[in-house]
């Protein structure tokens, strides 16, 4: 009796073992790209910027079961120095996204590849292609892919990533519109007696287009307009931004401006237009998003009234805070 009982238990355990063994054999490992092979290790994770949110990462792999369901295997380090594996279902759209990202990583970094342009080749370890039945995606997964593919494309380094050969990629991708506000001190003290009124510091607003010229070292061209209470100027400034100190980078610039000044009251009419060289000195905070720039016109203009010469600079020194808009 006891013999029959123990034999039944043994047969049940053997049957379970066979089931688990068969289930394990039904999972076939996938290779998403020849660049990484069947297992993605820590070095490859960093090289292709994968699984950035996974803590204590050791390795990752992908598999497909007998029902054509796709699985992600993540191995993490445990506090005791061992490893623990977690298995998560993964839609084909996400698997394809990762495969395409790895296969075209260099082109993505250079900004010359658009995600979704090419169907990646995903293979079993024996070189057999992944069957079509495992690639079926629901409409919600397709919507997720379209959204997430754009995210990954934008998340890759921008076209102005390190490129010591010069800016060979499309410049329109990195143009920035800038808006600035500040204060200006016009140099018109010599004619304030004629105007019968005194001008102090006046508010200043501006708009500009920031154009990259070269990456390493970084040179940029700014074309813009500045308007104050008594004058407005059109500017063209070439700036140089050397290395950063934390999130702060110095800004050095030289250029030219053309100022138009019109003044009129009951006693006097003054109109002038002149071109002047200028210099800029400032700091850039957080890349090119926020700049604090001090601009100094290097010359003024000479005018004559009732036989007397006057030197004025309606476009005077100004301090402006500039915000870049992507």
- Look up residue 283 and give its two tokens: 């700091």
Q: What are φ and ψ of residue 79, in 5° steps?
A: -60, -25
Classify 295 as helix, strand or coil.
strand
CATH fold of 171-325 = Porin (2.40.160)
86 in Cβ contact with 57 (< 8 Å)? no
| pLDDT score for 135 | 65
Distance from first CA to last CA of the chain, Å, rounded? 82
What is the DSSP code (8-state) at residue 54? -
Q: Which helix (H) or strand (E) holds 278?
A: strand 269-285
| pLDDT score for 281 | 94
* CA angle in degrees (0–180, nearest 5) for 15-21-27: 140
| pLDDT score for 230 | 77
Q: What percentage of residues in the chain have a pLDDT greater than 70? A: 74
Residues of the chain with CATH 2.40.160.20: 171-325
Q: What are φ and ψ of residue 153, in 5° steps?
A: -65, -45
| pLDDT score for 226 | 92
Digit-coded pLDDT (tens) for 58-95:
999 999 888 888 899 999 998 888 888 888 888 888 88
Of 119, 24, 118, nearest to 73 by C-alpha is 24
**92-103 vs 139-155: helix crossing angle, rounded to 10:** 30
Neighbours of 162 (CB within 10 A): 8
Asked if pLDDT for residue 55 goes beyond 70, the answer is yes
* pLDDT, averaged across the chain: 77
Helices (DSSP H) in the chain: which residue ranges? 2-26, 42-47, 92-103, 105-109, 139-155, 192-195
Asked if pLDDT for residue 286 goes beyond 80, the answer is no
Mean pLDDT of 318-322: 92
Mean pLDDT of 202-224: 87
| pLDDT score for 294 | 94
Per-residue confidence band for 214, with pLDDT thresholds at 50, 70 and 90: confident
- Position with higher pLDDT, 23 vs 100: 100
DSSP characters over 174-213: G-EEEEEEEEE--B-GGGHHHHTS----EEEEEEEEEEEE
Distances (CA, A) of 75 to 59, 72, 78, 80, 85: 5, 10, 9, 14, 4
Mean pLDDT of 83-108: 88
For residue 225, whether the previous peptide bond is cis, meaning omega lies within 30 degrees of 0, is: no
Digit-coded pLDDT (tens) for 122-174:
888 888 888 776 666 443 444 444 444 444 444 444 344 444 444 444 444 46
């Amino acid at each position: 009796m006891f013999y029959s009982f123990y034999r039944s238990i043994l047969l049940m355990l053997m049957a379970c073992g066979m089931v688990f063994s068969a289930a394990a054999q039904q999972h076939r490992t996938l290779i998403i790209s020849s660049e990484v092979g069947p297992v993605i290790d820590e070095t490859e994770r960093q090289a292709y910027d994968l699984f950035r949110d996974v803590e204590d990462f050791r390795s990752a792999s992908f598999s497909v079961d007998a029902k054509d369901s796709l699985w992600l295997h993540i191995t993490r380090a445990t506090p005791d120095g061992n490893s623990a594996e977690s298995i998560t279902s993964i839609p084909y759209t996400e698997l394809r996204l990762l495969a395409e990202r790895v296969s075209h990583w260099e082109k993505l970094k250079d900004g010359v590849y658009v995600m979704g342009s090419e169907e990646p080749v995903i293979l079993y370890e024996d070189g057999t292609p992944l069957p079509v039945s495992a690639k079926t995606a629901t409409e919600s997964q397709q919507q997720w892919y379209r959204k997430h593919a754009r995210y990954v494309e934008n998340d890759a380094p921008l076209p102005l990533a390190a490129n010591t050969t010069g800016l060979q990629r499309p410049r329109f991708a990195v143009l920035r519109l800038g808006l600035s506000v500040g204060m200006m001190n016009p140099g018109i003290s010599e004619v304030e007696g004629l105007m019968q009124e005194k001008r102090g510091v006046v508010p200043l607003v501006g708009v500009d287009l920031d154009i990259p010229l070269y990456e390493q070292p970084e040179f940029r061209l700014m074309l813009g307009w500045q308007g104050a209470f008594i004058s407005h100027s059109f500017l063209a400034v070439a700036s140089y931004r050397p290395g950063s100190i934390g999130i702060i980078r110095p800004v050095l610039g030289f250029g030219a401006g053309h100022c138009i000044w019109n003044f009129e009251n009951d006693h006097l009419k003054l109109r002038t237009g002149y071109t002047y060289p200028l210099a800029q000195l400032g700091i850039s905070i957080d890349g090119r998003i926020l700049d604090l720039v001090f601009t100094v016109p290097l010359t003024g203009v000479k005018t004559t009234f009732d036989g007397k010469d006057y030197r004025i600079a309606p476009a005077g020194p100004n301090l402006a805070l500039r915000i870049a808009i992507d």
